[in-house]
Amino acid sequence: MQFASARFPAAIERSRVVGDFVMTETRYGGGAVLPTHWHEQACIVVVLQGTFGERYGSRDRTGEPGMLVLRPEGEPHSDSFGGDGGRCLNVELSSEWLTRVRAWSPALMKSDSFSGNAFPLLGRRLREELAHPDDASPLAVESLVLSILANGVRASSRSVAQPPPWLVRARELIHEERTTRITLSRIAAAVGVHPVHLAASFRRFFGQTMAAYVRQLRIEHACRALAGSDLPLADVALLAGFSDQSHLCRLFKRAMRTTPAGYRAANRAH
């Protein structure tokens, strides 16, 4: 079964045309099963809530919050959601726009999925553009989509060369200690390498500096706390690893284009 633009086998929360893109937020009930179908337009899917199993072609993947799925046009797939259901943001790319991009990059020529690094944050910012559009939204959405595709191409090329075990352990330590005071020298000592070597290897394999990675993890932590609790902003800041509320507000607005209070209000209203 083929679905035209802005049509999905799900309840539609909201949908809007933004420049060359159609942005649609969909909701799936607990235990929802979607039979094999495909979409007319290539699409970036941001998993907002819930987990699901997906069969695409002869392969399987598990969708989880924060993941971004890059889906080429016409790709057959079927989905099965868990008991809590889920929500996704679907950003469909016009054929004309995608043709222009493919002239210089193999964007969305094959299905792929990504989580970690910059992807969850980019997905949240796309949702903010859908929730709070303005005159600059077409430019902002195009910029975010290009960033996602560029990060995807780089991540795919890096995956050919796997990071060494000590670097994987370093990233695990960063996740475990993301809300504490993390230093390059301490992580380097824990995995037995020189700090300069750690910094260069981290950027090479993961596409960003360790400091940028830590900031993204903390912003993600704050997003979850803001959407899922009534904690005061000062407490959210400390729990997420920021020095104080003003530090949280400054970096949060830079990353998310909205204030922590505005983000909480938008998620609660929804």
pLDDT (0 to 100) of residue 22: 95
Query: One-letter amino acid identity for 241?
Result: G
CATH topology of domain 2-158: Jelly Rolls (2.60.120)
Question: Any idea what the Cα angle at residue 251 is, between residues 268 and 220, rounded to 5°?
Answer: 50
Along the chain (270 residues), what's the average pLDDT of each consecutive run of 10 residues? 85 93 94 92 92 90 91 92 92 92 80 83 91 91 92 71 88 89 91 92 86 90 89 93 92 88 78
What's the whole-model pTM score?
0.74
- Classified as helix, coil or strand, 58 is coil
Query: One-letter amino acid identity for 106?
Result: P
What count of other Cβ atoms lies within 10 Å of the Cβ of residue 103?
A: 8
Q: Which of 189, 188, 106 is nearest to 152 (CA)?
A: 106
DSSP for 161-183 reads SPPPHHHHHHHHHHHHTTTS---
- The domains of the chain are located at 2-158, 165-207, 212-269
Q: Which CATH architecture has domain 212-269?
A: Orthogonal Bundle (1.10)
Q: Which two tokens stand for residue 25?
A: 């937020």
Cα(22)–Cα(41) distance, rounded to whole angstroms?
Answer: 10
pLDDT (0 to 100) of residue 90: 96
pLDDT (0 to 100) of residue 269: 59
pLDDT (0 to 100) of residue 240: 92
